Chains A and B, each alone.
Chain A
Amino acid sequence: MHRMKWLLISLAALVFMSAGAEKLTFVLDVTENRSDEGQAIVAQLQAIGIDASLRVWQSTVLRDEMLAGNRSASTSDWGSAYFDPFDLAIPKLRTKDRGNYSFYSNPAVDEAFRIASTSIDDATRSEAYLTAQRQIFADAPLVFSYVLQNIEAASDNVRGWEPAADNSENFARASVIGSDTLVIGMRVDAIVTLDPAMYRDRDTEAVLRNIFDALTIPTAQGQVQPHLATAWRVVDPLTYEFDLRSGVTFSNGEVLDADDVVFTFERILTEGAIDGATSPRAGLLGPIDHVEKVDATTVRFVYKETFPQELVLQALTHFQIVPKDYLSEVGVAAFTAKPIGSGPFAYARGALDSQVVLEANPTHWNGAPELKSVVWQMMPEASTRIAALLAGEVHVIQAVPPDLVERIASVPGVGVHTALGTRSYQIELNNAAAPFNDTRVRQALNYAIDWDSILKNIYRGYADRLSTVFLPSGFGYAQDLAPYPYDPAKAKELLRQAGYETN
């Protein structure tokens, strides 16, 4: 009888306890390209007593769901075109900004971001970014994850080329032993256009950057160098002045001067300037007011608000200068069908969804390229690109999936080449709703996932851990901030503090 009573009491206690502390339960929503990773994560979370399950989505649909606040944990990725957190960390983590799928809001971080995107002093900007990173790290609004490397492959006969962090392909100094033509297998099924005002994707830009020149040019690692602009200075906090290289001509002989530069930017900044359509590129220039000509070889960029010089210089690498006279004379349609630029190569022929053929521009101001022609072959399937490289049909291929690297590495005569990536991958957590409105729970998830094992096994080591969503290749990166370590004990401890049962 006595025993029975104790049994009943302990049973009641058990029922009471399990009613009081439940497991952390949520669905991890992943995009289709990350389902393997998602499975590994869910298994790791389950091992410490988190009741996580997996669901796979098409990325566009998932983004809409996230923005509507319908999801609690979802994978996402965001790329940077600036080598600066300006277009990565800021849109992702500033209160109510465009990429803030986690609904994170911290006034201190917002203030740091404001300083970093408006100050014209590099030290101040850098300091603001460091402050923001430490605060974001502590708040753990997301599960900080990794940056994938940009993996490309090439024949050993290719010289003077390396993959770039931003997926651009610069063939101005490239050559191929035994061939005067270089063929590159592109990762996309089509580029968008040949009009430098009407695209937003990197693949179109990769082709256009070989046909046109910009005022500045990035190195493969993202450092800005002079190009059509030879020097620049700050006139006043809202105005930057650029000296243009003299003696530059377009491939039709037209001289490139300040009029062409002003024309190029007016097309982009004026609504409806491209036969009634508006360029989708204006946003890349920041809070610009207008571009004006000072004299034939000097232009000024005038801003509405202060905008850091480094960001202006980075932005300018993305704007290809077009010939005003030729374009005005033939019209947009004819120009898009047969563009004329001042770049190392000139457009010869092709179709945007199959192959684009460029021929060397022998009169390029920086010297004629060694190659006679470059062929951009659209090959959307990775296995086909690799087959074409192995068959000797192409010399360079983009986007080798990590699990197919082995196939290339084992064949003599071809090699894998990598560059730093510029895209942060993470898991968004809905900070505005339970269970992830509790910092301890978000931190717990950051401790609970063994990223090193995932990066090694799924991405074959071609990925690097991130401490936040700031990239090591970007400005103001906190070198000393180590990523959350894999610490399941700590994760369980934090979950218990937050009132959840663990294993």
Chain B
Amino acid sequence: MIESQTISINLIVTQREGNIVSDMDGEKVMLSISNGKYYNLGDIGGAIWDFIVEPISIYQLVSQLVSEYDVEFKECEQQVIDFLTHLKNEGLIELKSEDGMK
């Protein structure tokens, strides 16, 4: 299992199943069936959530965001990793290395 402290840009990230997601005023709100909690991902977080519907490397994810948003790569990388760390801690995403190890 990959611990949150070791999230790096080369890892592959994807949504975990079992969440009900809805758009509310441009922000994405989610109910986790597994833990019963409600989350607000916000608009940027919602965009990230959409990007990780299929497995994608964090590098590719950040590259996509940098191409669409007015943000520098390193700033985006750090903030995305922080965000993914929170998602990971809540059990909402899966991370694995490029060779498929979870």
Q: Do A and B bind each other?
A: no
